Structure 1
Amino acid sequence: MRLALAADVAAVRELVRAAFLVYVPRIGREPAPMGVDYAAVVGEGRCWVDVGDDGRIVGMIQCAVADGFLEVETVAVAPEAHGRGVGSRLLAFAEERARELGLPEVRLCTNEAMTENIAYYPRRGFREVGRTTQHGYRRVFFAKGIVGPDG
């Protein structure tokens, strides 16, 4: 896992597009992560990438410090890397980042139509904390408390 560089922007954009394209028919439009300005996100130091053995980016996570928690704004895994632990590594990274920053919680949301994610996050220790519609997207919110280094 490493901080994304300006040279990674095109690959991050392509990865997010590939990861979220399957949801377009379900939602009826592009999911929000497909419209993000990743050049700005990378430039702000809010994007990390998981690089595979072959040097290709197989996962990305976009995080921001919010009011008392770490917000995972986007997490994406290359379709060809599904089932290889990339998503778990990305979420573990977010948890470690929150711990390093002294934040007690990681939060994220997914679209209601992304049923795989709604099943996935609880298996990783996240609990559903709410549902609402924002910007025309039906969102499901999750949170996970972070245990400090002392247990």
Structure 2
Amino acid sequence: MSDQIRPAAAEDTPAVRAVTEAAYHRYIERIGVVPLPVQADHAANVAAGRVFVTGTPVVGVLVLVPEADHLFLESIAVHPDAHGTGIGRRLLRFVETYAAERGLGEIRLYTNALMWENQKLYTRYGYELMERRADGPYDRLHYRKRLTD
């Protein structure tokens, strides 16, 4: 399996969709709605250069959106078959490098309040909870990580 994290190409779109669906599937019953990353227009995100993948076959997916003053981590997904292999850590390190290379000193993301595994992970990797906010049917915890002081 390739350790390289690379921009997704159009031919990766089915794998991006499959990994995202597999990663988020377990949360559907718990949160009572389909997570937004599952509903995303994967082809449009790939075409816009927002998606990065790792693995052959693809087992890790990132969706990154550079903003004026921060990088928004829209989605991070690791296929359940690859849990515990360090892919999530590598993807999070890549996000930091990607932001820094673009002069963005902060990464922002949100996760559903019922996805407690994510809360532990983000806190462990230096993200701080900024606020809890409902957005329609989604109860979200908003996090940030400052890369510069």
TM-score w.r.t. length of structure 1: 0.93
Match of 2:27 in 1: 23
Regions of 4+ moved over 6 Å: none
Match of 2:114 in 1: 113
Q: Deviations over 1:60-115 (max 9, x none)?
A: 00001123000000000000111111111111111001100001101111001101
Give me the whole-angstrom Cα distance separating, in 2, the residues matched to 1:62 and 1:95: 13
Match of 2:137 in 1: 136
Question: Once superposed, what is the RMSD of the aligned Cα atoms?
Answer: 1.1
Match of 2:48 in 1: 44
Shift of 1:135: 3.0
Give me the whole-angstrom Cα distance separating, in 2, the residues matched to 1:44 and 1:135: 26
Q: Secondary structure at the match of 1:110?
A: strand
Matches for 1:1-150 after TM superposition, within 5 Å: 1-51=5-55, 55-147=56-148
Q: Deviations over 1:33-86 (max 9, x none)?
A: 1100000000000000011xxx21110000011230000000000001111111
Give the counterpart letter for 1:142 in structure 2: Y
Q: Secondary structure at the match of 2:59?
A: strand
CA contact (8 A) 1:71 1:107 kept: yes
CA contact (8 A) 2:33 2:137 kept: no
CA contact (8 A) 1:99 1:147 kept: no
Q: Secondary structure at the match of 1:125?
A: coil
Q: Which runs of 5+ in 1 are unaligned?
A: none
The share of aligned pairs that are identical, in percent, is 40
Q: Deviations over 1:106-135 (max 9, x none)?
A: 111100110100111010111111110113
Give me the whole-angstrom Cα distance separating, in 2, the residues matched to 1:79 and 1:147: 33
